[in-house]
Amino acid sequence: MHTAVRRRPVQRRSLERFERILDACAELLDEVGYTGLTTKEVARRAQVPIGTLYQFFPGIEGLLGALAERNLEHFVARLSGRLEAAQPADVGALVDLAIEEYVAMRRSVPGFGVVDFGAIGIEDEASIHLLDAVLDNNNAVAERLWTLASGLLPEEGQDPADPRPNPRLALRIALECADAILRLAFRVDPDGDPVLIAECKRLLRGYLRT
């Protein structure tokens, strides 16, 4: 994971402040957007001294990185719970559950429409590495999803001459496609265009099943 956070809280009081700062950051993203966000306003909204914010975060990118990490952890936890309950028999069911969880978070989680697992629509070097210093955001998410897809996708082949698609690469490509289509769905309709969401599921099911 990324090392943008200066200090991870351990004590309960510090943890509460840490989470309150991230909550304030998420709320302000919905109100003023990525470019309007300032550490001063985040600290004011969180009701903490600006020095407390800087104890945890080096600046805006650190805040966004920690928020993206938290969003990803919540997404993986929610999806894991649904997979455990549903026990899907194939990758198509995994696709449906993953997209449904993403859509649910996009509709209900503050700031998620601006920073889900990375700064949406921002392609500068810092923003595409909010989750990991080496992997870009989507690649880091694909790695986490790979662990959940165990048994639903074939194991990665070791022979470079094997003509079958590389399943790890296929998952990464599917995630890139989903990212683009779901962005479009929420650009067309603030609640997510249901036709585009359904098409996203259909496209990914067909691709990953082959």
- For the chain, 210 residues long, the average pLDDT of each consecutive 10-residue run is 66 92 97 94 97 94 94 96 90 94 97 91 80 89 88 66 75 94 97 98 92
Tokens 């004590």 -> residue: 11
Q: What is the pLDDT of residue 1?
A: 46
In a domain, 204, yes or no: yes
In a domain, 97, yes or no: yes
In a domain, 157, yes or no: yes
39-to-11, 45, 56, 197 alpha-carbon distances in Å:
23, 10, 12, 35
Taking the C-alpha atoms of residue 28 and residue 196, their distance in angstroms, rounded to an integer, is: 28
In a domain, 61, yes or no: no
Query: For the chain, what's the residue count?
Result: 210
In a domain, 26, yes or no: no
Q: For the whole model, what pTM was predicted? A: 0.89
Instruction: Render pLDDT for 193-209 as a digit per residue (tens, 0 to 9).
Output: 999 999 999 999 999 98
Strand ranges for 150-195 from DSSP E: none
For the chain, the domain total comes to: 1
Structural domain span for residue 160: 68-209
In a domain, 42, yes or no: no
What CATH number corresponds to the domain at position 148?
1.10.357.10
Q: Is 115 helix (H, G, I), strand (E, B) or coil?
A: strand
In a domain, 166, yes or no: yes
Angle at 32 (CA atoms; ends 27, 37), nearest 5 degrees: 80
